DNA sequence: CAGCGCCCCTGCCCGC
DNA sequence: TGCGGGCAGGGGCGCT
């Protein structure tokens, strides 16, 4: 249920438990995700040690001594560490065993996710090589966004959701950050001033950081727990609140579909 | 060639 | 209680 904070929460949850551990077995029950899971996945992974667990955008990267496992959770995927005696549930498509007890289990009802293997330098992979800066890095700043936006007329909301521009800004947080920054989601990217980009960058970082902090509160549930991310509990100002009053000015929030995604905003506070 | 829609898939909620 | 329609947090890809 992954926006970037959930992916990062997942990474932090699994990393300490599998880093340095050896894969003993791989079970693929259903290989048909967004792209087919390689059918010789076990061959690549068996007896290999996990060197580290990193993240690029919403892609989780498990580094092995020779190659990387690339995992994307899509719209409905989750990755949990479970004990090997836990019953297999619906949509549990992949199990990666670490010894006799520990399993990293990939579940994905809608199967928009991906589990891929590459032996090449991982950032050369076709899914990663074009990606823009990490939103929480210093490279993502107003100067960068402003310069890059000058020849883009597209609506600011879909523009900041473009992974070539910046990774990890999903629909919920795009809505929330634009509200906080007071920017109308349909405003053309190239018409927004540098000062307003400063505000937007600030709000994107803040909302993502806050959500990661909240997500962190569920970390303790990662082993054996239900693994549900905590972000539904957090206060959202606009997402899911169309027709309800704006928290700032009480005017009824509007909703439009922008690039096929639900977009909620306040016509009074966002211009 | 920037940028728009399509589409992959299951589940859930709502209205009839 | 059953069924059809619409919508869901992603994002690559094929068109124009």
Summarised one tens digit per residue, pLDDT across range A16-52 is 999 999 999 999 999 999 999 999 999 999 999 999 9
Q: A239 near A263, Cβ under 8 Å?
A: no
Instruction: Provide mean pLDDT across the span A169-182.
Output: 97
* Cα(A154)–Cα(A205) distance, integer angstroms: 22
CB of A34 lies under 7 Å from some atom of strand C:
yes
pLDDT band per the 50, 70, 90 thresholds, residue A215:
confident
Measured CA A240 to C1' B13 distance, in angstroms: 14
Which nucleotide C1' is nearest A174 CA? C9
User: What pLDDT, on the 0 to 100 scale, is given for residue A82?
Assistant: 96
* Cα(A183)–Cα(A270) distance, integer angstroms: 5
The answer for residues whose C-beta is within 8 angstroms of residue A126's C-beta and 6 or more apart is none
User: What pLDDT, on the 0 to 100 scale, is given for residue A105?
Assistant: 98
The answer for residues whose C-beta is within 8 angstroms of residue A248's C-beta and 6 or more apart is A266, A269
Q: What is the dihedral of CA A218, A224, A225, A228, to 10 degrees?
A: 70
Instruction: Provide mean pLDDT across the span A192-202.
Output: 98
| Secondary structure of residue A262 in the 3-state scheme | strand
A46, A228, A256, A261: the catalytic one is A261
A58 flagged as catalytic = yes
A31 flagged as catalytic = no
A2 flagged as catalytic = yes
CB of A126 lies under 7 Å from some atom of strand C:
yes
Measured CA A45 to C1' B7 distance, in angstroms: 31
User: What pLDDT, on the 0 to 100 scale, is given for residue A214?
Assistant: 84
């Amino acid at each position: 249920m992954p926006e970037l904070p959930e992916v990062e929460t997942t990474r932090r949850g699994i990393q300490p438990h599998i880093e340095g551990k050896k894969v003993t077995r791989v079970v693929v029950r259903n290989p048909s995700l967004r792209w087919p899971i390689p059918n010789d996945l076990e061959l690549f992974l068996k007896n290999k040690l996990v060197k580290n667990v990193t993240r690029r955008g919403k892609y989780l990267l498990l580094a092995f001594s020779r190659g990387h496992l690339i995992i994307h959770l899509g719209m409905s995927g989750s990755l949990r560490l479970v004990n090997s005696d836990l019953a297999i549930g619906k949509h549990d498509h992949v199990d990666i065993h670490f010894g006799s007890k520990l399993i990293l289990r990939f579940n994905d009802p809608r199967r928009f996710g991906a589990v891929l293997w590459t032996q090449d330098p991982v950032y050369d992979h076709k899914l990663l090589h074009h990606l823009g800066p990490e939103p929480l890095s210093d490279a993502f700043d107003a100067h960068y966004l402003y310069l890059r936006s000058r020849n883009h007329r597209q609506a600011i909301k879909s523009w900041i959701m473009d992974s070539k521009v910046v990774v990890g800004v999903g629909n919920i947080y795009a809505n929330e950050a634009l509200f906080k920054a007071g920017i109308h989601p349909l405003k053309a990217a190239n018409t927004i001033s540098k000062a307003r980009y400063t505000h937007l960058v600030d709000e994107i970082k803040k909302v993502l950081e806050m959500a990661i902090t909240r997500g962190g509160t569920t970390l303790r549930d990662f082993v054996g727990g239900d693994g549900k991310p905590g972000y539904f509990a957090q206060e959202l100002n606009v997402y899911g609140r169309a027709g309800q009053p704006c928290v700032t000015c009480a005017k009824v929030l509007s909703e439009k579909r922008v690039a096929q995604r639900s977009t909620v905003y306040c016509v009074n506070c966002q211009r």
